[in-house]
Amino acid sequence: MKSKILLLAICFALFNVSFSPEEKTEGGIKWMTFKEALAQSEKSPKKIFIDMYTGWCGWCKKMDAYTFKDPKVVKYMNEHYYAVKFDAETHDTVYFQNKAYYYKAEYKSNEIAVYLLNGQMSYPTAVYLDEKTAPITAVPGYQTPEQLFRFLLFGGG
């Protein structure tokens, strides 16, 4: 009897996990690495959205928990952009437009973040690149789903 109850509980848990609200938004935003987005854009051009964040940024975490979970944002982002989550403080070497970018202690961030944010180091910042990976704009600060959706509709600017 106990094994039947346990089996039933496991099946119920699996059923709930299989049909969680996040799955209704097609599993959430399909985040890629910067390298993956650049390679994908080369094969099939699309604008690139970069969520420039840091691990210590509270507003970045709020965007992750709220804005980037909004079904309307998720659907539009996945259809029209390659989405990248990029830690501005990464120590990894990043290659972009035939140049290598490195972490610089004096900036406390990677040079690519300094370049894409035009030296305005603020987190979170939404960075938009066009279909040829040229920077369009960088929009600093927390954005509600409605605010972000408006920028997404207009391609970042």
pLDDT tens, residue by residue, 52-83: 999 999 999 999 999 999 999 999 999 999 99
Q: What's the whole-model pTM score?
A: 0.81
pLDDT tens, residue by residue, 77-108: 999 999 999 999 999 999 999 999 999 999 89
**Which CATH architecture describes the domain 28-153?**
3-Layer(aba) Sandwich (3.40)
E strands, 27-91, in order: 31-32, 47-53, 81-87
pLDDT above 70 for 15? no
pLDDT tens, residue by residue, 22-39: 334 458 999 999 999 999
Q: Hey, what are 118's tokens? A: 């035009």
Q: Hey, what are 43's tokens? A: 């094969």
Domain ranges of the chain: 28-153
Per-residue exposure over 53-74, b if at least 16 CB sit within 10 Å of its own CB, e if not: bbeebeebeebbeebbbbeebb
pLDDT above 70 for 7? no
CA distance 50 to 87: 10
Q: What whole-number percentage of the chain has pLDDT above 70? A: 82
pLDDT above 80 for 4? no
